[in-house]
Structures are given as C-alpha cells and as structure tokens.
Amino acid sequence: MNSIKQAVEQAEQQAGIKIKDVVVGIAGDHIQSLPTRSIISISNPTKEISHADVQRLLDEARKIAIPSDRRILHVIPQDYIIDGQDGITDPIGMSGIRMEANVHIVTSLVTAMQNIYRCVERAGLTVSDIVLEPLASSNAVLDNDEKEVGVALIDIGGGTTDVAVFVEGIIRHTAVFAIAGHQVTDDICKVLGILQNQAERIKREYGHAHQESIMRDEVFMIPGIGGRKPLEVTKSLLCQIIEPRMEEIFEFAHAEIRKSGYADRLSAGVIVTGFRG
C-alpha cells in the first residue's frame, strides 16, 4: 500500500494534477488465456452491421464456461467471419445474416483481482479498470506499424515476465510466467551469500547477461556483514550467476512465441523491455 501511495505521489508531482482514479496492471502465473469462437444472427440483415452488433457478438463470447474462481479480464477479437467469408478485421458497415468471431479470452483469479482492489482502495484511490500488463506495456513500447507487420514483446518485470505477440495490428497471444528479475537477485544472494539489497545493487550497477558484452572485467567490493571482510567480486563472476537465469527466461519466452503460431511472421522482431526488480 505504501508503494502505491509513493508511486501516485511521484506521478502527481510530475503531472501537476491530483489523481483519484487509476488503471491497474495485473500479471502473475495465475493469468490464463484461451481461444474461443462466438456466433450471432444479425437481427436485420438488410441493414449494415453496427457497433451494437459487434458488442453483442463479443458479449456472447463472454458466456464461455470458466471455473468459478476465475474472471474474464479481456475479450480480444482476432478476426470476424460474415456468412462464411473469413479474414475480416472490421465488420462495421458490412452486411450479412450470420456473424462469427475468433476471440482471445484472458482470465484471472478472482482473489488476485480482489487483492488489487483492496490495496488500491486502502491507498485512497478508485480502480477504474484492471488491464493485463502485457497489453499496457505494448501500448507504451510498441507503435502501430510494429504491431501491423508482426512483433513480440517480452517485458521482464520483478516477479513476472510478460509475453505478447501482435500480427496485423491484433494481439494474437499473451502469456505470463513467474520467472523474472527477483529470481536473478535471489540467485546472486545465494551464490555470493549477501543481502537482498546488496544483490539488487550490484545487479543494477555491474550486471551483464552475456559474457561477451563485458568490455573490461572490473573488480568491485561488497561490504562485509557483521564486521566480516569485504567480498571481492568480478563482473565476469556476476555474469556467470546472471546468465543462466536470463537464458531460462528467454527460453520460456521463445516457447510462448512458438506456441502462438506466429513465430515466422514477426517482421519487426522481438522487443525486450522492463527488467525491474
């Protein structure tokens, strides 16, 4: 709760406004996504398909059966089919009798969402919406052209790594897994036998994820604990601790990109961001 208050205070100072309502990001290995298809009949096929028709189609997708401990976060249309004609990205203004949609459903544990609401409300704020973190990150990092030609986003946070795949301007796949920056810090703590705050500091100041990126193998000192002698560490040794965990993160991310079925359509490549914590 204190972290929320501090973040909001910093944002208020930078923006020069008072914040009351917030959009909150959610992530975690409890996030699940699944494909589904929804179908409706057009009530008046002599008229053009309207926004109301599309909304009714997406509302139909929300009727998918999910466990009682889960809630739908997002219903993301992939494409539309009108009277058997597929590959339609925007059906507004078209005509037809039957409209279908291939839809990407994202769900979250109800308890995870409730905990977010409680924390934010105790900080004196109102939650206006909860958004999957890969979606929020993509809006900040990717431009429309990248999303159109195909791009994957890997956002390495403190507790989770988020993956989002975009092709033809549409998000095609999302995934969240609980291997990220905190695990790197924990590895440094265990191998070197130092405190969390010490491990976090040297990770940020001296850390490399690839041995070949070290231009000069610098030696640095870590203060001893309880009057013990300082610990002498090299950048290359620190890299030997960090590199295996980073390889694991990228292997998981690569597996998710392949799982999406769009790995060979990413003309804009892969964008890596984050690495907080």
The matching CATH number, chosen from 3.30.1180.20, 3.30.450.20, 3.30.1490.110, 1.10.8.60, for 21-141 is: 3.30.1490.110
Would you say 100 and 37 are in contact if contact means Cβ atoms under 8 Å apart? yes
Radius of gyration of the chain from its Cα atoms, rounded to whole angstroms = 23
Structure tokens at 164: 């989002």
Place of tokens 């604990």: 225
For the chain, what are the domain ranges?
21-141, 144-277
Within 13 Å and on the Cβ side, how many CA atoms surround 114? 6
pLDDT at 277: 56
The span from the first CA to the last CA of the chain, in angstroms, equals 18
Would you say 76 and 89 are in contact if contact means Cβ atoms under 8 Å apart? no
pLDDT at 213: 87
Hey, which bits of 178-262 come out as E strands? 219-222, 231-234
Residues 6 or more apart whose Cβ sits within 8 Å of residue 223: 198, 230
CA dist list (Å): 180 to 139, 144, 186, 276? 21, 27, 10, 9
Distance CA 112, CA 257 (A): 26
Distance CA 233, CA 214 (A): 14
Within 13 Å and on the Cβ side, how many CA atoms surround 3? 2
Residues with pLDDT less than 70, the chain? 275-277
pLDDT at 221: 94
Hey, which bits of 213-277 come out as E strands? 219-222, 231-234, 270-274
Closest CA to 150 of 257, 13, 6, 3: 257
Query: Whole-prediction pTM value?
Result: 0.83
Distance CA 198, CA 232 (A): 13
The matching CATH number, chosen from 3.30.420.40, 3.10.180.10, 1.20.140.10, 3.40.640.10, for 144-277 is: 3.30.420.40
